[in-house]
Amino acid sequence: MEQTLLGGRYQVIRRLGSGGFSRTFLVTDLHLPNHPRCVIKQLKVQDKDTGTLDMARRLFDTEARVLYQLGNHPQIPALLAHFEEDQEFYLAQEYIEGSRLNRQVEEGKPWSETRVVLLLQEVLEILAFVHRQQVIHRDIKPSNLIRRHRDGKLVLIDFGAVKQVTSSPLLDAETGATNITVAIGTHGYMPNEQYAGKPRFSSDVYAVGILGIRALTGLHPQKIEEDPLTSELDWRQHAPTVSSELAAVLDRMVRYDFRDRYPTAQEALEALQNLPNPLHGLVGTQIYQTWMKGSNGRGPTFPGDDNDPGNGPSETSEPTAFADDQDSTSLFPVDLAYPTAHGKAPLPLAAGGAKAVAFQPYGRRPSLVAVGLLGVLSLGLVLWRSGLTIALEINGAGITKPFQSMVLPSLDIDLGRMLPPEEKAALLTRQGDRLLRQGRYPDALAIYDEAVESQSDFAPAYLGRCKTLIALKRPIEAIAACDDALAYSTYYPEAVRSKGNAEEQQGRLLAALALYESANNLMPAMFEAWLDRGRVLQKLGRSAEALAAVDQAIARDRESAEAWTIRGEANWTLRRFDQAIIDLEKALQINPDHGPARELRQRARQTVGR
């Protein structure tokens, strides 16, 4: 097989891995200039009888369809092509150079709480996008997450077990339930309903919670006992220093009963974002220190490698894309946290001084003492100049740890000295997003501007500027910012929708409608664009079309008072008075203080006399 071209164009370099249903190969594409690398995933078909081939073709078509739908997200590998050849099925995907997360989530090596929160937030941000597309991943685990070398971001891979729910009835879409009857996933990361073949969106939330617990405790999930009375995981005893706030979020993520969990990744993400911030909102609670040749002089690893720490046979990976360059640079995060004295409470801060912090790398360290010492000294110099206090020592075992509190004059912290531009822009944009949600618009705009200054082509920062300028009632500037976002990211339905908001703010309803329709076509699962479309159609007096659009919005989120209000207004215009009253009462049931629904309901009562 490796002597021939796959699909007539892909030349195999080597096999990367093999799992229960597939094999993956690193290949070069001979049809494109410079013969770029990509990854071919072959769906294995052991039995070529008609029934087996039909099942394989169904799995293949499902994964291809979902990857086409999801692959435009920057942290999901893009699908380049798919084809069938000699009753074998192949997917060509973007090549991601990086290291699998299971290389860092190691048995017996618990992570700090700060690091766990950052990991969970990053995974849930990707997964929230997946859930908005009405897709359940069903196999979230360390080996299906890759830390990409070029920017340190996580990439979610292996969508071979996905389940789409967009074609399910409305009630199923609300709960995330599906009619799948086969249990697919990985032991330890699968909740009970997934074992029964009935996964929900909250099944993915469970798996992410297990990932966090594994990192926090240093224990494989199958080694964590269940409470014999409640069947809940008794994990807290293995992480006695975890904060009660984070523990409560993790507990809810991994509840035995799916009805007690966060229903989707978005709700879990919001709970994490509302946790107390030990660094009081400072940008850069996670920093990447580059060590050449990976850890201990080793590059990225693959399933089956002798030096791969792995996760054991119960956590076999079916990767779709990962690095193979043994000489490439690996990125290892560094925790920034308050220092502790002998494992006790944080040291007090001196009045008027900078925070005393310990800067301690995690993951494996370079084996050369000279490299480690130089790294500590140079890092200390950078931090000193940036206004942070350094308190480090290397003990006899070669482990770096804090040894005393040191105080520096109060200085501005410039973590940009240590971050590549794209990482700094990403961190600043996330801080801007938080400020925007809090209604602190001028502060958010300043942060987005700083992100753009750091990385001039970072599209999410321009989108943040656009949304903030809309909130500040500056629609002309907002349109320019959205245009910048679209110039640097050709597939950006959120920016298309936000540009529509700016056009609508200027009263240009037809221009706004065209943009909302475009956003619907680009991302059918986006609730907000359907709601916007329905609102503008109603403003234009096209009530029947408004009703159809808002029904699409309600199918994606039944708990929107605005959506039910627009529906009631459309039905009222169409003289469907009884249905309009029902819609308005539903809106007020969701939000009794929703002014437009209350006013329209009052007028309806006066008109119909009830």
- pLDDT, tens digit (0-9, with 9 covering 90-100), for 476-531: 999 999 999 999 877 788 899 999 999 999 999 999 999 999 988 877 777 899 99
pTM: 0.52
- Give tens-digit pLDDT for 313-364: 334 433 333 333 322 222 223 333 333 333 333 333 333 333 333 333 333 3
- Residue 167 pLDDT level (bands cut at 50, 70, 90): very low
Q: Which of the two residues, 425 and 142, has the higher pLDDT score?
A: 142
Mean pLDDT of the chain: 74
- Give tens-digit pLDDT for 439-491: 999 999 999 999 999 889 888 899 999 999 999 999 999 999 999 999 987 77
Q: Which of the two residues, 95 and 388, has the higher pLDDT score?
A: 95
**Whole-angstrom Cα distance, residue 559 to residue 564?**
9
Residues of the chain with CATH 3.30.200.20: 5-93
Q: Are the C-beta atoms of residues 164 and 67 closer than 8 Å to each other?
A: no
- 561 Cβ neighbours under 8 A, 6+ residues apart: 587, 588, 590, 591, 594, 597
Give the containing element (helix H, strand E) for 116: helix 113-132
Residue 139 annotated in active site: yes
Question: Residue 381 corresponds to which tokens in the numbers above?
Answer: 């110099």
Strands 163-164 and 286-291: unpaired
**Whole-angstrom Cα distance, residue 26 to residue 92?**
10
The catalytically annotated residue of 29, 139, 335, 532 is: 139
- Domain 98-273 of CATH type 1.10.510.10: yes
Q: What is the domain class of 5-93 according to CATH?
A: alpha beta
pLDDT above 60 (res 286): no
* 39-68: burial string, b at 16+ Cβ within 10 Å, e else: bbbbbebeeeeeeeeeebeebbebbbebbe
CATH architecture of 524-610: Alpha Horseshoe (1.25)
Residues of the chain with CATH 1.25.40.10: 420-510, 524-610
Q: Any idea which fold 420-510 has?
A: 1.25.40
Q: Is 551 left (phi over 0), alpha (psi -120 to 50) or beta?
A: alpha
